[in-house]
Structure 1
Amino acid sequence: MSAVSDVTPSSPAPSLPALDVLLGPGGAGHLAGTRLEVTPREEELAAFYASPPGLHVRANMVSSVDGGAWGPDHRSGTINDAADWRVFRVLRALADVVLVGAGTARAEGYTALDVPRGLEHLRAGRGPLELAVVTRSGHLPAALAAGDRPPFVITDEHGAGIARASVPADRVLVVGPDDGARAGAPLPSQDLPSPTPGPDLRAGLAALTDRGLTRVLCEGGPHLLADLLAADLLDELCVTTTPVLVGPGPGRIVAGMPPLVAGAATGPASADPRRPRLEHLLHAGGTLAARWALR
């Protein structure tokens, strides 16, 4: 199951549509009604997604109108479209590193990443686009473990030995368990939904920052997104809503067990809903691409 906001990484690029501006960056009303035409360099669209200097963590997800994070085949490619692909390409080009959970990397068939063709200039010489995989167990999808360009692996001591058997040791970022997560159950053999504490994502992001990878793009899945939100590590959430109805079955773009009340054996902690700020809203053929600021 996955929530990657795009067709699978190996899929061919569809024809890209123009995007109508319903709300401009920062809520700029004067740009409403304008149109972002497709251009080879995509600099106008990239300006809509500019981020401040320093560590910036952005998630990019896709959802059906009825809230599904994937289609009947458990892949997000079933519910996305060309408008989503256009935004996705720009977000990839602007990122230093793409962050995914091991389950998402496995389900979506991730391999080593390249900057989208024709958009290399948006990186301003920042080096290759990296991939970082978060895993409790240290297990990696076979396609990644056998590749010539291994990802960074964010794991704790429990998973480090397994990870080092798959990728070079300098690509394994060993961080402690997340002390804020529920503990006590044995570690799973694979990265399935689990109440056990995962790697400390704050420490993992710090390790990426130490390597100059400050523009982080999370592409899922729902459990990783939930962990980033719970730890207050997400600066913005980009959500593309496509005109598709998938019915019951598919999960939401955020999934997992809610945190427990401190000292209680059962029962989720209550929390007030967060109130993100809508930074911009784009439209093409019924598809809405929204950028929500969380800070």
Structure 2
Amino acid sequence: MTDDEVYAAYAPPAADWLRVNFVSSADGAATLEGLSGPLSGEEDKRVFKVLRARCDVLLAGSGTVAAEGYGPLVLSAERMAWRRAQGLPEVPVMAVVSRSLAGLDPEAGIFTEAPRRPIVVVPADLPETQLEPFREVADVVAAGTGAVDLPAAVAALRGRGLRQILCEGGPRVFGDLIADDLADELDLTISPLLVGAGPVRVAEGRAAAEARPLELRHVIEAGGNLILRYLRGSTDE
């Protein structure tokens, strides 16, 4: 597939859209040796980069940001050129969801070297003493009490014009998005690996009230990987 074909394959069906991107092993593990990276190959990373180029904001939990070593959200020259051609800013905004800000460093490159000012999404009752260092390097969005209220957080992001949301996890954030019925799309790469018992699934944490039906939009086989795109609530026929 050409780059244009990959971009077209992931065109969002609506102006407001929240997609989640994960990789898992063939037996359902979301991590290998504690990280998702070892499950991902060249084919999965190609989709990963296209999805980043297509979004207005990249949403990730603080645990994933810390564990996976997220740096500043930057794109290649080719991806930035594609965004400019679509009338988009050269890079998306990075938004980090955190219940307590524990494990996040306001001096880390994800904040201090970001080409666009990042966002931290936190509960409204978090002490100002914890928030103050982050206000220097990021916009603070307060949503919920005691824990992040994801429906309110998503509404706040869209209120800023960040309507195309890409979530890269972690599993607990994805579990909460399912429970709150916020996920419009799951982009899942199944890696040809057997990991065995132990690692978490792609969705963890709070249980959903019911199963959410999905429509399988495409299956791409590449390098032994199955690259799946599932939609729900799509009007794109």
* TM-score w.r.t. length of structure 1: 0.71
Shift of residue 163, structure 1, vs aligned partner: 2.7
Equivalent of residue 55 in structure 2, options 95, 99, 105: 95
1:45 corresponds to 2:28: no
Q: Whole-Å Cα distance in 2 between the matches of residues 169 and 204 of structure 1? A: 19
Offset of residue 139 of structure 1: 3.5
| 1:86 to 2:86 alignment | no
CA contact (8 A) 1:139 1:163 kept: no
Residue 111 in structure 1 maps to residue 71 in structure 2 = yes
The one-letter amino acid paired with 1:173 is: V
Cα distance in structure 2, aligned partners of 1:249 and 1:113: 30
User: What do the CA deviations read for 1:87-139 (whole angstroms, capped 9, x no partner)?
Assistant: 11111110111100000000011122012331224322321311101111134
Cα offset for 1:170?
6.5
Q: Deviations over 1:207-260 (max 9, x none)?
A: 11122111100000000000011001111000000101111111100011436x
Aligned equivalents of 1:158, 1:253: Cα separation in 2: 29
Q: Which one has a larger percent helix, Structure 1 or Structure 2?
A: 2
Structure 1 distance, partners of 2:41, 2:200, is 19
Per the alignment, residue 151 of structure 1 pairs with 118
Pairing 1:58–2:25 present: no
The one-letter code matched in structure 1 to 2:197 is P
Higher radius of gyration, 1 or 2: 1
Asked if 1:68 corresponds to 2:6, the answer is no
In the TM superposition, 1:168-187 aligns within 5 A as 168=136, 171-177=139-145
Distance 1:229 1:218 in 2: 12
State the shift of 1:140 in Å. Answer: 5.4
How far apart, CA to CA, are the structure 1 residues paired with 2:74 and 2:110?
17
Q: Distance in 2 between the 1:112 and 1:167 partners?
A: 17
Match of 1:265 in 2: none
Q: 1:112 to 1:248 in 2, by over 3 A?
A: same
| 1:250 lines up with 2:195 in the alignment | no
Structure 1 residue runs without a partner (length 5+): 1-35, 178-196, 260-270
2:87 aligns with one of 125, 141, 147:
125
Q: Which residue of 2 aligns with 1:291?
A: 229
CA contact (8 A) 2:179 2:206 kept: no
Q: Distance in 2 between matches of 1:49 and 1:63?
A: 19
Q: Is the Cα contact below 8 Å between 2:72 and 2:110 reproduced in 1?
A: no
1:178-227 CA deviation, whole Å, 9 max, x = no partner?
xxxxxxxxxxxxxxxxxxx5211111111111221111000000000000
Change (3 A) 1:83 1:170: closer
In 1: Cα distance, 2:73 partner to 2:185 partner? 22
Alignment of structure 1 residues 183-194 onto 2, 5 Å = none
- The TM-score normalised by the length of structure 2 is 0.88
Checking the alignment, whether the CA contact within 8 Å between 1:140 and 1:166 is kept in structure 2 is no
Say whether the 8 Å CA contact 2:176–2:206 is kept in structure 1.
no
Q: 1:229 to 1:118 in 2, by over 3 A?
A: same
Which structure 2 segments of 5+ residues have no match? none
Residue 167 (str. 1) matches residue 116 (str. 2)? no
Which residue matches 2:175? 226
**1:55 alignment partner AA:** D
Conserved? CA contact 2:111–2:118, under 8 Å: no
Aligned-residue offset at 1:272: 4.1
8 A Cα contact 1:92 1:116, kept in partner: no
Paired residues for 1:199-278 under 5 Å = 199-258=148-207, 271-278=209-216
Separation in 1, partners of 2:9, 2:190: 18
